[in-house]
């Protein structure tokens, strides 16, 4: 009788474990976990960036200006490479 009770308890634990694994592997649960981890990582990166900016404000401003310059350089370079349209008709 005692062996049967232990077997029943083990079966119940195994069933609970399988149910928990199924719940964790459900696509919506996986997506929620990934979203939470991504949010936590983004917050940590933002805090670290803010701390570095407070310690080195000149470098932060220089970096921001560099990024802005690179973002503006591409459209300006594209405009310069375009051939001017001819106004003469042949």
- pLDDT given at position 48: 96
pLDDT in tens, 29-53: 999 999 999 999 999 999 999 999 9
Q: Which two tokens stand for residue 55?
A: 């310690």
- pLDDT given at position 80: 80
71: left (phi over 0), alpha (psi -120 to 50) or beta: alpha
- Residue 88 pLDDT > 80: no
pLDDT in tens, 54-85: 999 999 999 999 999 999 998 888 888 776 66
- pLDDT given at position 86: 61
- pLDDT given at position 79: 82
Does pTM surpass 0.85? no
In angstroms, rounded to a whole number, what is the distance separating the alpha carbons of residues 45 and 37? 12
């Amino acid at each position: 009788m005692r062996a049967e009770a232990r077997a029943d308890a083990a079966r119940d634990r195994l069933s609970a474990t399988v149910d928990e694994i199924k719940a964790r592997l459900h696509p919506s649960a996986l997506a929620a976990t990934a979203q939470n981890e991504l949010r936590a990582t983004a917050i940590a990166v933002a805090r670290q960036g803010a701390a570095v900016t407070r310690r080195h404000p000149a470098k932060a401003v220089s970096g921001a200006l560099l990024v802005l310059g690179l973002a503006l350089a591409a459209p300006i370079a594209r405009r310069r490479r375009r051939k001017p349209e001819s106004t003469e008709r042949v």
